[in-house]
Amino acid sequence: MTGLSVEAVMGRSWLDCIHSDQRVEARQRMGIGQALRIGDGEFQGLADQWFSAHWSTLYDGQGVVSGAIVIINDITERRLREQENWELAHFDGLTQLPNRILFWNRLEYALRLAHRNQQTIAVLWLDLDGFKAVNDQLGHAAGDELLCQVGQRLQTSLRDSDTAARMGGDEFTVVLASMAHPQDAASVAQKIIDLIHQPFALTQGPAQISTSIGIALYPDHAHTAKELAHCADLAMYAAKQAGKNGWRLWNSATSMA
């Protein structure tokens, strides 16, 4: 269960048998457990198994801790099911990108950090140009394959701290967290446009599309997740009206379009 042999764990603290990033929490729970005489928790072993621990602290006649009764259960299967269910609820089944639920979660989190650290973040709203034609000419399987490849190209254009999500259909979003300069959003948008415009090699044949992108910045354009996404969406439509295969930054004129 721990990922260590019997010989390896003899004489060692049970804290040595769990992941190092969980040991601080485990010590805190143990401290609370000693004060309350009971405690519990769920921890991950060194071999990635999960187990639950329930313990009761034992005291001698002088009130000194003399030991503990610990009950350990393997909960790996349950944790794997929970993780699988979480992923099904938060990731797009086709592209494996975050879905709209996780997009809003990530955006809200990025906004809180940006507010606390006085940073700029950007939302990019993407709509594919020419996707319907590919779907009609090559079939829905080709359209699905194209969406998957678009998702892959999006991920290669971003930092680990950024988020690319599929909102549904042929619409995608990007959250650019903690940008050093507001103009960096335009650079990323152009990079994405160039990547998406490169030909796609699909099973049913080659395809070429483009994308129109709207950009909205916090705190310049909006302060809430809904407002920021709405501004980016409006800017995306302005990019389409301007001829597609380009990006537009939200401004007050965009909102009147």
pLDDT of residue 35: 62
CA–CA gap between residue 206 and residue 136 (Å, rounded): 14
CA–CA gap between residue 86 and residue 88 (Å, rounded): 5
Residue tagged active-site, from 144, 170, 194, 233: 170
* Tokens matching residue 60: 């001698």
The Cα angle at residue 75 between residues 71 and 76, in degrees rounded to 5: 140
* Tokens matching residue 125: 């709203």
Residue 170 designated active-site: yes
Q: CB under 8 Å to 208, separation ≥6 — which residues?
A: 130, 197, 198, 199, 200
For each of the domains in the chain, give its residue range(s) and CATH number, in order of start. Answer: 6-80 (3.30.450.20), 91-256 (3.30.70.270)
**What averages of pLDDT result for each successive group of 10 residues across the chain (257 residues)?**
60 66 71 67 81 84 81 88 90 97 98 96 98 97 98 96 97 95 95 98 98 98 97 97 97 64
Residues in the chain: 257
Element (H, E) at 211: strand 210-218
98 prior amide bond cis, ω within 30: no
pLDDT of residue 161: 94
The SS3 of residue 231 is helix
DSSP string, 43-68: EEBTTS-EEEEEEEEEE-TTS-EEEE
